[in-house]
Amino acid sequence: MNWRHYAILFVVGWSVPFAISRFQSLPGYMDADYYFAGGLQLAQGHGFTEPYIWNYLDNPAGLPHPSHTYWMPLASMMSALGMWITGQTTYASGRLAFILLSACVPLLTAALAFRVSRQVRLAMVSGLLSIFSLYYAPFMPVPDNYALFMLLGAAFLLLAPFEQKWIPLALGALAGLLTLARSDGLLWLGLAGLTVMWKSNFKSDGTKSNFLEWFTRIVPAGLLVLLGYLLTMGFWHVRNLNLFGSLLTPGGGRLLWLQNYNQTFIYPPESLTRESFLQAGWELALQNRARAFSANFSNAFGAQGAIFLFPFIFIGLWQLRRDLRTKIAVTGWLILFAVMTIIFPFAGSRGSFFHAGAAFQPYWWIAAPIGLDAVLAWARSHGQFKDKNAPYFLQGVLVLLAIFMTAYLVDFSVISSGWAKDDFIYPAVEEMFLDNGIKPGEVVIVRNPPGYYIAAGRPSISLPFGDESTIRAVAEKYNARYLVIEKGGTFDAIQDLYDDPQSNPSFIYLGEVDEAKLYRIELAR
């Protein structure tokens, strides 16, 4: 690989997410809304606080609320970086860093691929596959963790086999950054420890270490891993200790006891306990995990495996089975699959497995062309594809398929269907509130609080999972006088309130905007 190869990958790798971003005037979904809104708070000097609440798992005391008590802060910090560089707080500035990070993904993927295969052709194919990434492509330009996870995961795998004494420190630091991006990035701290253990089994000459040699190598290396982790993640643990008295934020443990996804928005959160989980019965728990297994496996085949790449990835991994990087990637992915299926089935099947799996994607894109080469070698041994240009032709077909399928999926999910179409109603909703004399500082209950804050600058809290009495309880605690119920953003227990807006005298109907119904909540005096 030379600089020309990397220049081509960078230009194409920048052009594709930039082109996609032209059709995305808003972040588009709550995760990205949250990260961008967090970036706005940082850029405007408000620090790690937020004038919105999107779930009640940590039992927030009120507004403003300490930020990133569920999602982690790195994506918001990167969004704020774009705003600081440009001096503007626009969405274009907030996503600037993510487009540039996306352009770097093919560079690191190709560098890792060349390190693995020592073939420029295969490295270039891997780099191009990372650009035309099918289901991941629409999300690369938005403020989220996809590009961050791909870059950090690829960097981890690139450095892992090296023997320099600083490598454990670097692996720990990368694990810390992965955790700072997403809480499931903590898996990579365990993978850093496993890497140290595997490497300590053998001496530099390739002979197996005895126990004393293994122990004397693993202890200092393990301490370096922890030191590296604390260098990048330690400040966040200190912040949590100061605010909550624990290394991790409160509320996350309650996810263990979910019986359905909507309970993520439950209020009060104390009702989500081990006892309530057991009372619901093991049959329901097993059914939920069976559904999560099906959803996560479909994700592995369709999104992470890109459908047509899946068999070649599998064959390529078999060809690379003795490589330390393969052990790390496959072990980590299997652990992630198990955790997102058994322990966190609702988060996993609703996007966390897709998100967290992005860190392993560069290695799958590396394995796929190697697998295709292995299939070609087998075919040639049986008298097929004897032409010397066959490898270039077949690898080209692989890339062309990726291009066409990526174009189709981007058109389907971004261009034709309309990106962020649900959030486009919020400016009109806010205009109606203002027309009714409602002051900008008054709190509203809404489906997507960070999205509403981006659109209107109004403090907002999440529509809680429960009935109308639950909404009143939330409204009284957080002094929220107004409610928005969207057609596709309601729960069964309050469907009657949406269908018959004047059915409950505690909710004064104000009107409708684009099928969103607005209410004033009569609070107790």
User: Average pLDDT in the 364-392 region?
Assistant: 91
Q: pLDDT band for position 204 (50/70/90)?
A: low
Phi, psi of 504 (to 5 degrees): -125, 115
Residue 217: what pLDDT?
82
**Percentage of the chain surpassing pLDDT 70?**
98
Q: What is the pLDDT of residues 123-149, one digit of tens each?
A: 999 999 999 999 999 999 999 999 999
**Percentage of the chain surpassing pLDDT 90?**
85
Answer whether 35's CB lies under 8 Å from 128's CB: no
Residue 199: what pLDDT?
87
Residue 203: what pLDDT?
63
Q: What is the pLDDT of residues 74-117, one digit of tens each?
A: 999 999 999 999 999 999 999 999 999 999 999 999 999 999 99
Q: What is the dihedral of CA 204, 206, 210, 213, to 10 degrees?
A: 10
Q: What is the pLDDT of residues 150-171, one digit of tens each?
A: 999 999 999 999 989 999 999 9
Residue 236 has pLDDT above 70, yes or no: yes
- For 14-23, 185-194, 411-420, which range has the lowest pLDDT when averaged over its residues? 411-420
Question: Which tokens go with 150?
Answer: 């791909």
Q: What is the pLDDT of residues 189-201, one digit of tens each?
A: 999 999 999 988 7
3-class secondary structure per residue, 348-404: HHHHHHHHHHHHHHHHHHHHHHHHHHHHHHHHHHCCCCCCCCHHHHHHHHHHHHHHH
CB atoms inside a 10 Å sphere around CB 91: 22
pTM metric for this prediction? 0.95
User: Average pLDDT in the 220-237 region?
Assistant: 96
Residue 341 has pLDDT above 80, yes or no: yes
Q: What is the pLDDT of residues 435-494, one digit of tens each?
A: 999 999 999 999 999 999 999 999 999 999 999 999 999 999 999 999 999 988 888 899
CB-based contacts of 288: which residues, under 8 Å, 6+ apart? 259, 260, 345, 346
Residue 384: what pLDDT?
85
Q: What is the pLDDT of residues 310-336, one digit of tens each?
A: 999 999 999 999 999 999 999 999 999
Residue 525 has pLDDT above 70, yes or no: no
The more confident residue out of 387 and 414 is 414
**Partners of 484 in the beta sheet?**
518
Phi, psi of 417 (to 5 degrees): -80, -20
- Could you tell me how many residues make up the chain? 525
